[in-house]
Amino acid sequence: MKKKQQSISSPDELNKALQYTSPLTWIILGLSICALVAFFVWSSIYKLKIKISGVASVKDGNVVLSVSENDLAKLKEGQKVYINELEGTITSINDNKPIVSNFDLADGEYNYTVIINEVRPIDFLFNK
């Protein structure tokens, strides 16, 4: 069976054509628009954190991070360092060893995390 295509020439015919669209179609369209808006809001607000992790050595109150050469190039003074939920700052990089301050830790080795960059997902769309 072939359906005959009709052109719409009056407002009454338009109303009749719109009645063939089921309410489920409008609900799906509305939910799709809401999901798209929610994605853009989330991607504008949320920040992805790019991190470096490793082991920090503490001796006599001095904290030295052990990092690979690749990661060392990404580190700079002033970046935040997190050890055991405590926050410190890279104060200097001497002999390819980052030195950290603001930690009151016992001598030993601890896992650390340095956040080297934060990026919003929407920035990927606009190449920022």
21-74 pLDDT, tens digit each: 778 988 999 999 999 999 999 999 999 999 999 999 988 878 889 888 888 888
Contact predicate 26/39, CB 8 Å = no
- How is residue 87 written in tokens? 């926050």
Average pLDDT estimate for 116-125: 89
What span, in angstroms and rounded, lies between the C-alpha atoms of 108 and 83?
12
Q: The whole model's pTM is what? A: 0.63
- How is residue 61 written in tokens? 């109150």
Is the per-residue pLDDT at 2 higher than 70?
Answer: no
